[in-house]
Amino acid sequence: MRIRVIGAPIDLGADRRGVDIGPRAIRYAGLNDQLHRLGHTVNDVGNLDVPLPENQPTGNPRLKYLEPITKLAEDLAHTVSDALAEQEFPLILGGDHSMALGSISGVASKHKNLGVIWVDAHADFNIESTTPSGNIHGMILAALAGLGEEQLVNVCGWAPKIDKNKIVILGARDLDEGEQRLLREQHIHVFTMSDIDRRGIATVMQQAIEIAGADNGPIHLSLDLDSLDPKEAPGVGTPVRGGLSYREAHFAMEMLAESARLVSMDVVEVNSILDRENATAQLAVELTLSALGKKIL
Ligand SMILES: NC(=[NH2+])NCCC[C@H](N)C(=O)O
Ligand SMILES: [Mn+2]
Ligand SMILES: [Mn+2]
C-alpha cells in the first residue's frame, strides 16, 4: 500500500500544551521506517501550518479557538482528499483530536458511506451547551454527526459528514453528563470499557467493524492514545484510569487490519511534554503498524 503521512500539529482544541509536538514525536519513534519495512511505500508530506495559541484570540469561551480550528480542518480536508484521489492511504498524525474534523471531512468527501471507529476514553460528543471545558476536541464527533455549532458542523460547506448509525465509540470511560444524554438521544453505538470487560475485545471489535462497515462500507479509524490505560500511554493530556491494555489495543488493531476495510486513520493526542521517554509515541507507532498489517507471525 502507498501511505501518505500528514502531520496536523494542532493544540488549539485542548487545554494541556504539548500535543502539537505529537507528529514529530511519532516520526522520531520510527514511523516511516517501520512502515517501509512492513512493505508499504511512504510519502510523508510533512506538517500543515497551524497558528500558535499565543497569537490567536481565544474567542467564545465555550468554543475556544473556533476560527483557527475550522480553518485547519478545511486545509486538512483538502490534503486528505487529495491523497485519496491519488490512491494513497491518508495517515494523519495529531495534534489534539480536533484535527479529526478535517481528516474525516476529507475522507467522507470521497467515500459517501464512510463509517468511523472512534477509539477513545472519551466520546468527544459534547456541543456548546454541554461542554464542561469549551475545548473543541471534546466536540468533534458530535460535529461530524451534524450536531452542535454550525461552523463546525458545516466545515467544507456540507453536513453531516458521517451517518450517526455508522459511528462506533470504543473504550469510553469518561463521559460528561450532557454528553451522555446526547449519546442516548442520538442512539450512538458506544462500547464502554465495561462492555469490553464483559464480552471481551474480540467480540466487541467484531461488532464494531460490522456496525461501522455495514453494507461492505469503508472504515476510518480515529485512534486517541488516551483510550489506552495511562500505564501504557502516560503521554496524553486527558488520562483516565482503567483503559485498554496493551494487548487489547493491539488485538483491536489487528482485527481491523484483517477486516481489510480501513481506508484512512488518525493517530491523536500524543502529548510529548507529559510523555516518558517518548513511550506513548512509540506505542502509537506500534499500534499503527498493527492496524496496517503487521502480524506476530
Ligand atoms: N479528545 C479528547 N482527549 N477529549 C477530551 C474531552 C474531555 C471532556 N469530555 C471535554 O469535553 O472537555
Ligand atoms: Mn478524543
Ligand atoms: Mn480522549
- Determine the atom of ligand 1 nearest the C-alpha atom of 268: 1
Taking only the tens of pLDDT, the chain with its 297 residues reads: 999 999 999 999 999 999 999 999 999 999 999 999 999 999 999 999 999 999 999 999 999 999 999 999 999 999 999 999 999 999 999 999 999 999 999 999 999 999 999 999 999 999 999 999 999 999 999 999 999 999 999 999 999 999 999 999 999 999 999 999 999 999 999 999 999 999 999 999 999 999 999 999 999 999 999 999 999 999 999 999 999 999 999 999 999 999 999 999 999 999 999 999 999 999 999 999 999 999 999
Q: What is the reported pLDDT for 198?
A: 98
Residue positions forming the annotated binding site for Mn(2+):
97, 120, 122, 124, 224, 226
Environment of ion ligand 2 (residues, CB < 5 A): 97, 120, 124, 224
Environment of ion ligand 3 (residues, CB < 5 A): 120-122, 224, 226
Residue positions forming the annotated binding site:
97, 120, 122, 124, 224, 226
Amino acid, single-letter form, for residue 62: R
CA of 87 to the centre of ligand 1 (A): 33
H or E stretch at 77: helix 66-85
DSSP structure class, residue 140: H
C-alpha distances in angstroms, 34 versus 3, 29, 156, 160, 188?
A: 12, 9, 34, 36, 35
Q: What is the reported pLDDT for 91?
A: 99
In CATH, the number for domain 2-291 is 3.40.800.10
User: How far is 7 from 264, CA to CA, in rounded Å?
Assistant: 14
Nearest ligand to residue 174 Cα: 1
Domain borders along the chain are 2-291
C-beta of residue 252 within 8 angstroms of C-beta of residue 170: yes
Q: What is the reported pLDDT for 131?
A: 98
CA of 256 to the centre of ligand 1 (A): 25
**If you search the block for the grid coordinates 482528499, which residue do you land on?**
81
Q: What is the reported pLDDT for 144?
A: 99
Q: Is the ipTM of this complex over 0.90?
A: yes
Q: What is the residue with the minimal CA distance to atom 6 of ligand 1?
A: 138
Residues forming the active site: 97, 120, 122, 124, 137, 224, 226, 269
CA of 21 to the centre of ligand 2 (A): 17
Question: Mutation test of ligand 1: which of 19, 122, 176, 182 has the most ligand atoms closer than 8 Å to its C-beta?
Answer: 122
User: How far is 133 from 78, CA to CA, in rounded Å?
Assistant: 29
What's the pTM value of the predicted model, to 2 decimals? 0.98
CA of 238 to the centre of ligand 3 (A): 6
